[in-house]
Amino acid sequence: MVATDSRRIASPAVRIGAVILAGALIMSAAMGARQTFGLFIGPFSFDRGLPVTLTAFAIALHNLVWGFTQPFAGAAADRWGSPPVVAFGAVAFAAGLVLTAFASSGVLLVVGLGLLVGIGISCTTFGVVLTALGRAAPPEKRSMAMGLASAGGSLGQVALVPVAQWITNASGTAASLLVLAACLLAVAPLGLFLDKGGRAGAPAAQQAEPAMPLRAAVAQALGHRGYRLLTLGFFTCGFQLAFIGTHLPNYLLLCHMPVGLGATALALVGLFNMAGSWACGWLGGRYRQQQVLGWLYLIRGAAIAAFFLAPKSEASVVVFAAVMGLTWLGTVPLTSGLVAKVFGVRHLGTLFGVCFLSHQMGSFLGAWAGGYVFDVTGSYSLIWIATAIAGLVAALLHFPIDDRPAVVATPARATA
């Protein structure tokens, strides 16, 4: 009897642990592959004769497509579960990488790296993976669980960026992209674990949420001042991360830094993001999440300004990568956790997806504008300044957010 009771007590923790591990591995492959794209700007330009602006546009487009398809991917996961959405996304992502590997024209590059990758990544990252975890974890542990999954998801950035750089140097960009495609297909079956902790064993808080139609839930969120501020602030996160992730390697080459330093810097960002995401999840469980977000944006903006103004050296690049890593994706568990706190988890995939659209519009602008400004002015200076200022603006948007629940729990009979 005691053994049976122990198994019953332990089983929810085991289920949540399985969701965290599966989600971390899926996001490792997806986010790790995505983080390598900045390494291919030079090879596509020098080897295939494709303009930097065109490659930057393809990378920017996948961010925009990701944003526009994220609400639909989240809604599909809310309705049908995460496994089929993850499987579809992994195949689409891999197909986009294969097409990019053999792209001989700008059109094929844009379709592969822009359209297919954008669709695939919307189904294999935050809007599907973290929302599955949000349904599985109890409210008091939700922020920490999301932070752990995000931290584990950074493993792919640490591992895949240097691997992609090594394969590119040894065998070319096509071989590197094909290996990344294989990694995406390998993690597709892990989507089966994402619903193990949430559907059958949903927390009591989810059961008590009113059965609000999806359209009404979206309308309620869009009418909430805090949700609008959160959505506007999330634009800055996408803008900063996409610009740095896409253009930092090329910027360092212009500063006469060693050829491999860009890949090293991106790998360090991923390494320190593991600690940063865990820390943000921990802080979000103990302090008001919008306050943590505000300070995170202030620190990130100050770090960008200091790096731009300081003399460039290998040491300054390493310090910058470390600070950026600590503040890199910690915004995601905090933002999704704040949406869950205010609006509940019944439509979390959709509501986070709508919010994430703003993030990806910022990503599109950051990736594309970096290439455009460089082509027009021959320098990244203007975009570095804009990226630093955006951090201050985002902080001012987050501090006044009201985090009181907008969805009031009701007795089960009231929702019948």
Burial 2-30 (b: 16+ CB within 10 A, else e): eeeeeeeeeeeeebbbbbbebbbbbbbbb
The mean pLDDT of 16-45, rounded to a whole number, is 83
Tokens of 359: 């993030």
∠ at Cα 240 (264, 23), nearest 5°? 70
Please say whether the beta carbons of 159 and 224 come within 8 A. no
pLDDT at residue number 263: 79
Q: What is the tens place of the pLDDT at every residue in 364-403?
A: 888 888 888 888 888 899 999 999 999 999 999 999 998 8
Task: Give 85's contacts (C-beta < 8 A, 6+ positions apart).
Answer: 73, 76, 77, 123, 128, 191
What average pLDDT does the chain have?
83
Q: What is the tens place of the pLDDT at every residue in 304-314?
A: 999 999 999 99
CA separation for the pair 253, 260 (Å, rounded): 9
Residue 3's pLDDT band (boundaries 50, 70, 90)?
very low
Residue 413's pLDDT band (boundaries 50, 70, 90)?
very low
CA separation for the pair 398, 378 (Å, rounded): 34
- What is the DSSP-derived secondary structure letter of residue 194? T
CA separation for the pair 196, 42 (Å, rounded): 43
Amino acid at 16: I
The mean pLDDT of 20-37, rounded to a whole number, is 87
CA separation for the pair 300, 400 (Å, rounded): 19
The mean pLDDT of 339-344, rounded to a whole number, is 87
Q: What is the tens place of the pLDDT at every residue in 199-246?
A: 444 444 444 555 677 788 888 888 899 999 999 999 999 999 989 988
Is 174's pLDDT higher than 60? Answer: yes
pLDDT at residue number 26: 93
Please say whether the beta carbons of 139 and 127 come within 8 A. no
CA atoms within a 13 Å half-sphere pointing along the CA-CB vector of 316: 14
The mean pLDDT of 161-172, rounded to a whole number, is 87
Helices (H), 36-138: 41-48, 52-80, 82-101, 106-109, 117-123, 126-136
Residue 197's pLDDT band (boundaries 50, 70, 90)?
low
pLDDT at residue number 341: 87
CA separation for the pair 91, 185 (Å, rounded): 6
Lowest mean pLDDT among 7-16, 117-126, 245-254: 7-16
If you compute the radius of gyration of the chain from its CA atoms, what whole number of angstroms results?
21
Q: Please give the share of the chain, as a percent, with pLDDT higher than 70.
A: 89
Give the position of tokens 């792919």. Answer: 156
pTM: 0.74
Q: How many CB atoms lie within 10 A of CB 141?
A: 16
Q: What is the tens place of the pLDDT at every residue in 109-149?
A: 899 999 999 999 999 988 788 778 777 777 777 777 777 77
